[in-house]
Structure 1
Amino acid sequence: MTDEKLHAYRDKRDTDASGEPSGKGSAPTSDDRPVFVVQRHDASRLHFDLRFEIAGVLVSWAVPKGPSVDPREKRLAVRVEDHPLDYADFEGRIGEGYGEGTVIVWDTGPYESLTQRDGEPIDADAAVRAGHLKVRLHGSKLTGAFALTRTGSRDGKEQWILVKIDDDGADRRRRPTSTQNESVLTGRTNEDLEDE
């Protein structure tokens, strides 16, 4: 089933040339809780890729302006192809072709699904299929609850809206996507990767 979910990922790229993980033999995380990752991707346009470990893959969205911690701000999130689990700690330069540019792990950590239907919890996989996912993040830069809601589609891609829930992790003044540009794993920036 995981191979089937990764068909679009593998079809779009030559991982030998791009340097990206192939996803062959990727295993679930060792932690009891699934992980999320936000990767800062400086490609043809700078954007942030938001990914959640769900049902053996990283279910992914491209967020052009990146996540906001201000509950008043709504951010467009475009659903993209599922990525393999070993992409969660991928950093480096993607070679010529699809996604060409630099990638760092901007934030990562465990998460939990808060999604409910009729007052009962539902798992993240069912929540994504239903078009509404609410999660609590335990990252270094992003903490607290966020909600993703599908709003429709454009050019064959699902359009979603990402919002911060107003809780202890919210901050109307902090702008982490523009002030904290370093990797939480290595301390490198996208610019550092350009210079390597």
Structure 2
Amino acid sequence: MDLSKYKQKRDFDSTTEPKGEIEKSKDELIFVVQKHAATHLHYDFRLEMDGLLKSWAIPKGPSMNPEEKRLAIMVEDHPIDYKDFEGTIPEGNYGAGTVIVWDTGTYTLVDKQHTETVENQLKSGLQGGHLSFILNGEKLKGEFALVRLKVLKKNAWLLIKKDDQYASETDVLKKNKSVLSNLTLEEMEK
């Protein structure tokens, strides 16, 4: 896990995205979901792991409905300070388009093993292709799982909401404002 792919894809003289370093958040593990109007609108789902943000692009966005499994394509690791990034990535740059922080919060593992550190459990789950966690965000709450698909490319996963007290058939994506700036993508672009 490192930031070499992240840094190779970006020209920091023309984008305001953070250069970032590997660092851990202060207390609890964090997650962030950024709504990103690039070539195609998608949501970037990021989990803090080992001082970085492991990242998945979710074309249809996350869902609170356990019946709706969402494709999640694993992309390059991002620095922790990317969690606060909002703005427009200029044309000609990787990921050109507008970004807002759609949701953010903390997360914990579903089954903590007392014999292993949380970091080792996360690495093991990532390598094994199955992560189960509880999100405590402003929009996303409760238990979720990321499960790697075996029939497609190595980077194809599913984000699945588990059936718990937070499960809902209501479309959570209708809550379309940033949790940081309270702006929509369109307002941020202006």
TM-score, length-scaled by structure 2: 0.91
1:9 is aligned to 6
Residue 74 (1) aligns with residue 69 (2): yes
Aligned to 2:58: 63
User: For 2:142, which of 141, 144, 148 is the aligned residue?
Assistant: 144
Distance 1:74 1:149, change over 3 A: same
Match in the other structure for 1:186 = 181
Give 3-state SS (helix, strand or coil) of 1:123's partner: helix
**Moved runs in structure 1, 4+ residues, more than 4 A?**
none
Q: 1:112 aligns with which of 108, 111, 136?
A: 108
Residue number in structure 1 paired with 2:162: 165
CA contact (8 A) 1:59 1:83 kept: yes
How has the CA–CA distance of structure 1 residues 44 and 153 changed in structure 2, closer, same or farther, with 3 Å as cutoff?
Answer: farther
For structure 2, list consecutive stretches of 5 or more residues without a partner in the other structure.
Answer: none
From 24, 38, 44, give the equivalent of 1:28. Answer: 24
Structure 1 segments unaligned to the other structure (5+ residues): none
Candidates 86, 91, 98, aligned match of 2:94: 98
Conservation of the 8 A alpha-carbon contact between 2:25 and 2:51? no
Q: Are 2:24 and 2:80, in contact at CA under 8 Å, matched by a contact in 1? A: yes
* 1:51 maps to which of 40, 46, 56: 46
With over 3 angstroms needed to count, the CA separation of the structure-2 counterparts of 1:153 and 1:85, relative to structure 1, is farther
* Matched length: 186
Cα separation, 1, equivalents of 2:154 and 2:95: 17
1:99-131 C-alpha deviation (Å, 9 max, x unpaired): 0000000000010012578xx886222211111
Query: Counterpart in 1 of 2:129?
Result: 131
Q: How far does residue 157 in structure 1 lie from its aligned partner after superposition?
A: 5.4
Separation (CA, whole Å) in 2 of partners of 1:21 and 1:90: 8
Whether contact under 8 Å (2:55, 2:75) holds in the other structure is yes
> Aligned equivalents of 1:125 and 1:49: distance in 2?
20
Query: Greater CA deviation, 9-18 or 139-148?
Result: 9-18
Please give the secondary structure, in 2, of the residue aligned with 1:18.
coil
Residues 1:40 and 2:35 are matched in the alignment = yes
Is residue 23–residue 52 contact of structure 2 (8 Å, CA) maintained in 1? Answer: no
Instruction: Read off the aligned partner of 2:102 and give its amino acid letter.
Output: W
CA contact (8 A) 1:80 1:157 kept: no
Cα distance in 1 for partners of 2:53, 2:151 equals 20
